[in-house]
Amino acid sequence: MNLKEAITTRKSVKHFSYKKVDWKKIVRAIDYARFAPTAGNKFVNKFILVSDEKKIKELATASQQEFVGEAKYIVIVTSDEKKLIQSYDDRGKRYAPQQAGAAIQNFLLGLTEQKLSTMWVGHFYPEQIHRIFKIPEKMKIEAIFPIGKARNIRTKPKLKEKLENYLYFEKYGKSKMN
Ligand SMILES: Cc1cc2nc3c(=O)[nH]c(=O)nc-3n(C[C@H](O)[C@H](O)[C@H](O)COP(=O)(O)O)c2cc1C
């Protein structure tokens, strides 16, 4: 799969087939994440791959989203925000989610390449996830990703913003190039 196809066909999926997927494919997608740009080449993200059924159900409770419990695998993405703040003061706070987002997008494209689907889940009670997975307090939980094979492969990617509404030239609000 080429890059354009991975970018344009990636879409969020909530419902997964019952067939268990090869966890090594998920590891391959996580391997792509570590090539994302990082402030000062500091690696502050950790990915946790979860397969334990009971813990997956607990993640559904922690996120208050039932579909999360349907997945056979979940990936939790965490950031050591404090490490970036130590190096960059307040800027570190901005860098942490930017860096996590870059890593996550690599990961999502890696999943798409392996024909796996996921849904970015950003709504959850972090204290519960910290407790269940013994995640150190200093680590921020960025998002969780239930992963599987899409059950309904025919659904199309969502309509996206048109480029002309997305891009300005030279200054904010200018829609045409000179
Ligand atoms: C930061 C962030 C948080 C999100 N949190 C949730 C969530 O908690 N639950 C959910 O169902 N979808 C969540 N989504 C998925 C979005 O709803 C989805 O990406 C959006 O509708 C666009 O669809 P697409 O991913 O198919 O392009 C989140 C996405 C992002 C980027």
pLDDT tens digits, one per residue of 44-63: 999 999 999 999 999 999 99
**In the structure encoding, which two tokens stand for residue 109, read together?**
């494209």
Quote the pLDDT of residue 18.
87
- Model pTM? 0.96
Quote the pLDDT of residue 39.
95
Answer yes or no: is the C-beta of 68 below 6 A from any ligand 1 atom.
Answer: no
Of 8, 12, 109, which is best to mutate to test ligand 1, by the most ligand atoms within 8 angstroms of its C-beta? 12
Answer yes or no: is the C-beta of 11 below 6 A from any ligand 1 atom.
Answer: yes
Query: Residue ranges of the domains in the chain?
Result: 3-165
Answer yes or no: is the C-beta of 105 below 6 A from any ligand 1 atom.
Answer: no
Quote the pLDDT of residue 156.
81
pLDDT in tens, 73-91: 999 999 999 999 999 999 9
Quote the pLDDT of residue 153.
67
pLDDT in tens, 91-127: 999 999 999 999 999 999 999 999 999 999 999 999 9
CA–CA separation, 102 and 116 (whole Å): 19
Answer yes or no: is the C-beta of 120 below 6 A from any ligand 1 atom.
Answer: yes
Which residue minimizes the CA distance to atom 25 of ligand 1? 12
Indicate the CATH number of 3-165 among 3.40.640.10, 3.40.109.10, 3.40.50.300, 3.30.360.10.
Answer: 3.40.109.10
Answer yes or no: is the C-beta of 123 below 6 A from any ligand 1 atom.
Answer: yes
Q: Scanning the structure block, which residue is given the tokens 């480029």?
A: 163
CA–CA separation, 75 and 16 (whole Å): 15
Q: Give the DSSP per-residue string, 88-140.
A: HTTHHHHHHHHHHHHHHHHHHHHHHHTT-EE--B--S-HHHHHHHHT--TTSE
pLDDT in tens, 7-39: 999 999 999 998 879 999 999 999 999 999 999
Rounded distance from Cα 119 to ligand 1 centre (Å): 6
> For 20, which DSSP code?
P
Quote the pLDDT of residue 20.
79
Answer yes or no: is the C-beta of 37 below 6 A from any ligand 1 atom.
Answer: no
Asked if 28 and 1 touch (Cβ cutoff 8 Å), the reply is no
Other CB atoms within a 10 A radius of the CB of residue 30 amount to 20
Strand 140-148 to 73-79 pairing: antiparallel
Which residue minimizes the CA distance to atom 1 of ligand 1? 122
Quote the pLDDT of residue 77.
98
